[in-house]
Amino acid sequence: MGTPDFAVKSLEKIIQQNINVIAVITAPDKQSGRGRKINFSPIKKYALDQSIDVYQPKNLKDEKFQNEIQNLKADLFVVVAFRMLPESLINIPKLGCINLHASYLPHYRGAAPINWVIINGEKETGVTIFFLNKRIDEGDVIMQKKIKINKNETAGTLHDRLMNLGSNLLTKSIFKIFDNNFKKVNQEISPEHIKAPKIDKNICILLTKHRAKKNINIIHGLSPYPGAIINHKNKSYKIFSARSSKYVTNKKVGLFINDNKIFFNNEMKESIEILEIQAEGKKRMNAYEYVKGNKL
């Protein structure tokens, strides 16, 4: 069960290990664009290429759908970047229902762990394989692995590293379950554990009251998607990468161009240099290209 590219790598790895995948469950098709063209999810495209049956329920609690899935007699359900499952679905397979989560649980439970570890300036993160239960990301852990977060790493590059790390750990976990050679570790959940809720629009806005380091973390934590936003002179600019700068002037706060470079200064006289920018209705470009033909 999965939808985006993050899930495709896991399915690909499972198939490469000759594990028999009898069906894929993914989100319903979406229409987009002026022509309302129907778009398949990345995992549906891959599953169809592999001649695997695909189910796309609107409601996971639908009795007819659950009966169809029960009749498949799957030994194990594997969930990667999907949605919350009802308990009635989790309880169907005899070996249980496992999930790959892109954080080192119990920290960063929730929808956007890759974004939040960078936004919060963490030095390391990881992946966790655990048994699903009725509470979000709180089931018993099967395997975990940590990795360091690189300096100036973006959510995009971290996504790809965790996708590869997670797919390898997932297949190892599946074989451990098939061989009954695993130990379940209970998660000790406490209020101190940081959560990773869905990214909302307010998180995306860069503010002059923020410290420079915080704004850089927000930029990289939201790059390439959904992108950090600077509102300037009634226009919105998406920012994809930045670095700290020693260019500080008491006269300028906010977004401005100086010496063919773009800067964003805060109210504490700290400066960051914008390296990649996208103006409304324009393509993403590096700051040097932007400054050659555009103003702020």
Q: Which among 47, 61, 190, 197 has a CA at the least distance from the CA of 119?
A: 197
Q: Which domain holds residue 222?
A: 201-293
Pair (72, 132) in one structural domain: yes
Pair (119, 240) in one structural domain: no
Contact 191, 36 (CB under 8 A): no
Pair (74, 112) in one structural domain: yes
Domain termination residue (choose one: 178, 212, 230) = 178
Contact 113, 101 (CB under 8 A): yes
Contact 102, 79 (CB under 8 A): no
185 lies in some domain = no
Pair (152, 279) in one structural domain: no
187 lies in some domain = no
Domain of 92, CATH number, reads 3.40.50.170
141 lies in some domain = yes
Pair (213, 118) in one structural domain: no
Domain termination residue (choose one: 143, 178, 213) = 178
Pair (163, 70) in one structural domain: yes
Helix axes 155-178, 5-16, angle to 10 degrees: 40
Domain termination residue (choose one: 126, 147, 178) = 178
Domain of 277, CATH number, reads 3.10.25.10
194 lies in some domain = no
192 lies in some domain = no
45 lies in some domain = yes
Pair (129, 20) in one structural domain: yes
Pair (49, 105) in one structural domain: yes
Pair (270, 152) in one structural domain: no
The domain tally of the chain equals: 2
Pair (162, 211) in one structural domain: no
Structure letter (DSSP) for residue 276: E
d(CA 89, CA 69): 9
130 lies in some domain = yes
Q: What is the pTM of this model?
A: 0.94
Pair (101, 232) in one structural domain: no
What is the residue-level pLDDT of the chain in tens, covering all 296 positions?
A: 999 999 999 999 999 999 999 999 999 998 777 777 888 999 999 999 999 999 999 999 999 999 999 999 999 999 999 999 999 999 999 999 999 999 999 999 999 999 999 999 999 999 999 999 988 899 999 999 999 999 999 999 999 999 999 999 999 999 999 999 999 999 998 988 999 999 999 999 999 999 999 999 999 999 999 999 999 999 999 999 999 998 766 678 999 999 999 999 999 989 999 999 999 999 999 999 999 989 99
184 lies in some domain = no
Pair (140, 46) in one structural domain: yes
